[in-house]
Amino acid sequence: MAKVGETLTRRRPLIELHRPANSTVFVAVLVVLLAGYVLYPTLLILINSFNTSAIPQQGFNFGLDNWQIAFTKPGIFLALWHTVLIWFLYTGISFPVAVLIAWSLARLHIPGSYTLEFMFWVSFMFPTIAVATGWIMLLDPNLGFINILAAKLPFVDRFIFDIFSVPGIVLVHLLSTAISAKVMLLTPAFRNMDSTMEEASRMAGASTFKTMMRVTLPVMTPILVVVFALNTVRLFESFEIEWLLGVRFNYFVYSTKLFSLIRDEVPQWGQATALGSITIIMIAILLPLQRWLLGRRNFETVTGRFRPGYIDIGRWRWVIFGGIVTLIFLLTVAPFLSLILGSFMNRIGYFEWQPIFTLDHWKFVFNDGQFWDGIRTTLILAFSTALISPVLFSIFAYILVRTKWRFRAALETMIWLSAAIPGILSSIGLLWAVLGTELFGWRPFLPLYGTIYLLILVVILQGKLTSTTFIKGVFIQLGSELEEASRIAGASWVQTYLRVWLPLIMPTLILLGTFNFVLAASTTSSIILLSAIGTKTLSILTLELSSPGLGMREEAGVVTIVIIMMTVGVALVARRFGLRLGVRHDARSRDAARQGVPAADPSAAPPARDGR
């Protein structure tokens, strides 16, 4: 016994036990590679913001004209204000709504909670541009299906809602990914919380609501901070909704203003990059705040004494169930039905045309070679991203949370700095890096332009912040005694990862794989300047068809339906495997199963004293 005690006393700390000798080199290589990808294009953006040449690639003339024009030109600061306003409105609504929905699905005894959670997955599978197109078909002030039907009512003069307005932009944000993405990210974290703390609160006389406010939400602070920080970093990222809805009534935000400067008859490259440089200020403020919030206390919620469970709220569960089902209908069924109906109409909203319905739009799309090239490119991008991203960024997250290796802070800084660059601005920087980098008369990156390999690299790294920070939040929840017990039992680092960590984080990896699949299938701004004719994705093709200038909404609807079917199909497969893994609230042991002991009934959880 003394020998055992002596062995444990001499045992090195866990991280020292399995830290590889070349850990510093490994992390340093990651930092250098990320820095090259992030800082070099960013440096080119900053340098070219001082280039007053009309065509930057043909020479460099130093000057401050771009900065002076950018911040004195009418509309620049107005676009920045519009960006903050839109973000504040949809975040102020979506964040508390998503928290309540995730808490209800994970902690309350709601009928079909897993199915309802999956429907938010389905909603997220709908590309933003598809949702925007669907709601344009429904709420166009002149041709929208809902407004046409409402105009027949005696008390309605023209229309009941104009989608081409600030409320319309906010509405489409809420009904695209603003709510569903947060529910997807928060629900697994709420489900992994130990119910012992909530039971203690209710036994002390606290109501279900007070328990949520004083126990559940404070414990879930790291995940809430992560999700909010991710949402804040995307402040300047939104593009498709504002381009399709805002340009129609001359309402520009940051990203659409940048795009308009670049797509002008005489591209204003210098002004665009001068305007884009302001994002560095945002990340300089956000990163220290995020790290301070996550590092100030311990938030482990899955330990060796973990107890899952639900709260029974009686009849109120049907009220919550009805509210969630209604929201899911607006998120999925309504825009999808409008896309289906619009794709078969001769012209959307013209019910007096004969014949009303036609297959011409479907024939046009399926006979277009760009469509089939788009399918091939989209599938390659999406599957590559879905398979590589979760594994790669789980390694990043493990390094940041579970190790004390050198250069960890630099690695995290690179991850967050890269997220500060909006997609359209990042696309500009990478375009200059690919086309303008010259070494002794040789352009080493030029062969990458327009290839699928460059797009794969861009799309994979586009999701690094979401993937790394969310897996990082999950690692923070996992108690250290789980790993220590495995190591004391003699398991190696690989065995511990496969038998302890992997079962716990696998649902998160599957969720993030699906998340990145959809991100890759629907991304536009980050690759729109890097793709060529043969490597256009379906999302870029949809944006071109539905742009205000071309106005082929029916054909765009056909392409978006194909994207939806593709992404939802992947979600179904992911769900089939995901539900078999991770923490289950209805699980029972093998011995209990052999003895015929039934699984724990979620409804048997102690009810709140106030009946709620």
Q: What is the pLDDT of residues 177-212, one digit of tens each?
A: 889 988 988 887 777 666 666 666 666 666 666 766
Mean pLDDT of 571-597: 54
Could you say which of 1.10.3720.10, 3.40.1710.10, 1.10.510.10, 1.10.580.10 is the CATH number of the domain covering 23-585+600-604?
1.10.3720.10
- Give residue 376's identity as a one-letter amino acid code: R
| The predicted structure's pLDDT at residue 94 | 92
Q: Which residue has the higher pLDDT, 154 or 251?
A: 251
Q: Which tens digits make up the pLDDT trace of 291-306?
A: 565 554 444 444 444 4
Distance CA 526, CA 542 (A): 15
Q: Which residue has the higher pLDDT, 365 or 62?
A: 365
Q: Is the pLDDT of residue 489 over 50?
A: yes
Q: Which residue has the higher pLDDT, 441 or 401?
A: 401
Q: Which tens digits make up the pLDDT trace of 100-126?
A: 898 888 878 888 888 888 888 788 878
Place of tokens 């990145």: 516
| The predicted structure's pLDDT at residue 90 | 92
51 and 60 in contact (C-beta within 8 Å)?
yes
Mean pLDDT of 493-498: 68
Q: Which residue has the higher pLDDT, 254 or 492?
A: 254
Mean pLDDT of 304-316: 62
Q: Which tens digits make up the pLDDT trace of 460-481?
A: 888 777 788 778 777 776 666 7
| The predicted structure's pLDDT at residue 528 | 81
| The predicted structure's pLDDT at residue 298 | 46
Q: Is the pLDDT of residue 520 over 80?
A: yes
**What's the mean pLDDT when you consider all of the chain?**
76
pTM score = 0.74
Q: Is the pLDDT of residue 531 over 70?
A: yes
Name every residue whose Cβ is closer than 8 Å to that of residue 398 and which is 6 or more positions away in sequence.
Answer: 475
- Give residue 23's identity as a one-letter amino acid code: S
Is it true that the peptide bond before 447 is cis, omega within 30 degrees of 0?
no
| The predicted structure's pLDDT at residue 15 | 43
What percent of the chain shows pLDDT beyond 90? 9
- Cβ-based burial of 310 (10 A; exposed 0-12, middle 13-18, buried ≥19): buried
Mean pLDDT of 141-170: 86
Mean pLDDT of 555-581: 78
Q: Helices then strands (H, E): number in the chain?
A: 32, 0
Residue 283 is encoded by which pair of tokens? 């990340």
Task: Encode 234-264: b = buried (16+ Cβ within 10 Å), e = exposed.
Answer: bbbbbbbbbbbbbbbeebbbbbbbbbbbbee
Chain centroid to Cα 6, Å, comes to 49
| The predicted structure's pLDDT at residue 56 | 56
Q: Which residue has the higher pLDDT, 573 or 233?
A: 573
Banded model confidence at residue 609, pLDDT cuts 50, 70, 90: very low
Q: Is the pLDDT of residue 612 over 50?
A: no
Q: Is the pLDDT of residue 91 over 80?
A: yes
Q: Is the pLDDT of residue 611 over 50?
A: no
Banded model confidence at residue 40, pLDDT cuts 50, 70, 90: confident
Q: Which residue has the higher pLDDT, 279 or 535?
A: 535
Helices 538-546, 502-522: axis angle to 10 degrees equals 40
* Range among 12-21, 30-39, 484-493 with highest mean pLDDT value: 30-39
**Dihedral sign (CA 4, 10, 15, 16):** negative
Q: Which of 16, 104, 44 is nearest to 428 (CA)?
A: 44
173 and 241 in contact (C-beta within 8 Å)?
yes
